[in-house]
Structure 1
């Protein structure tokens, strides 16, 4: 049993989507995040996540994803800590609209999960009560807003 869910994000990242249609079907998607920018609102935990026990940011500075949108799924490969694996994520396309500043934007909610141990993030500990400190399963939830480029 895990006591609670810890949320976090990467402060430094970049991504792109190349689409031929406004519904983004078949769109090519790329994403990368700098591991050193991880933020869970607790500095000691963040330092541990960056260490060789987890992401090993010194030797593997980036997390990357490349794939495409297929129906209501984002299908591709994610690379974490030098290990590349296929992954399928659920996509909820919110649509395309203009903002008050003249930009055309598309919105998405993307979700899924992965097993951290499949990527070499194997550190584990147990509390005095016998509970797992860190779950093997990591839930992913991304709120994405893309701005159309000329």
Structure 2
């Protein structure tokens, strides 16, 4: 079987995250500049080689002041750590549509293993004859595991920004 290369279609993909603010509402954000690729044996994605990188300075939450704070040394320190990277160590099929994705996430100068739930949406041909594959990835990480420690205490108790970060990722890949 021959190795197939798949590249992300950024116009039909979104790398998003969600964090609780003041312990009761969520703030969402996303990366605007990123790349990702998958290498498979044929059209079977089990044990695929998966890589992702994103530019930290492309994070947007829809608020310029908040985005500037996220890029500062209080959070991501984009000047010192300009990139987030993920490299899969395993991609295991659970059932027809579900996979368990494990890999090394490098963020803020720290690399840790993460496990993410992945739904394979299937293969489809677009109107121009390209074969596309769709994936929905979700999971949670604790930002403090990557030394993203900034916070502020609230008068009523609790903290301004939760430690838990939920990942909401929708990906479309094009077979090369």
Q: In which range does the TM-score fall when normalised by the shorter chain? A: over 0.9
Secondary structure, counterpart of 1:26 in structure 2: strand
> Partner of 1:5 in structure 2?
26
CA offset at residue 130 of structure 1? 2.3
> Partner of 1:24 in structure 2?
45
Partners of 1:101 and 1:9 in 2: CA distance: 28
Partners of 1:22 and 1:42 in 2: CA distance: 41
Asked if the contact 1:31–1:64 (Cα under 8 Å) also holds between the matched residues in 2, the reply is: yes
Asked if the contact 1:3–1:131 (Cα under 8 Å) also holds between the matched residues in 2, the reply is: no
> Partner of 1:120 in structure 2?
147
TM-score (norm 2): 0.82
Q: Which runs of 5+ in 2 are unaligned?
A: 1-21, 94-98
User: Which structure shows the bigger proportion of residues in strand conformation?
Assistant: 2
CA offset at residue 146 of structure 1? 0.3
Partners of 1:4 and 1:100 in 2: CA distance: 40
> Partner of 2:91 in structure 1?
69
2:119 aligned with 1:92: yes
Deviations 1:7-43 (A, max 9, x none): 1101100000001132311100000000000000011
Q: How many residues align?
A: 149
Secondary structure, counterpart of 2:57 in structure 1: helix
Give me the CA root mean square deviation.
1.1
TM-score (norm 1): 0.95
Higher RCO (Cα < 8 Å, 6 or more apart): 2
Q: Which runs of 5+ in 1 are unaligned?
A: none
Partners of 2:168 and 2:175 in 1: CA distance: 22
Asked if the contact 1:11–1:39 (Cα under 8 Å) also holds between the matched residues in 2, the reply is: yes
User: Which of residues 80, 85, 89 in structure 1 aligns to 2:107?
Assistant: 80
Partners of 1:110 and 1:50 in 2: CA distance: 24
Secondary structure, counterpart of 1:46 in structure 2: helix
Partners of 2:164 and 2:42 in 1: CA distance: 34
> Partner of 1:51 in structure 2?
72
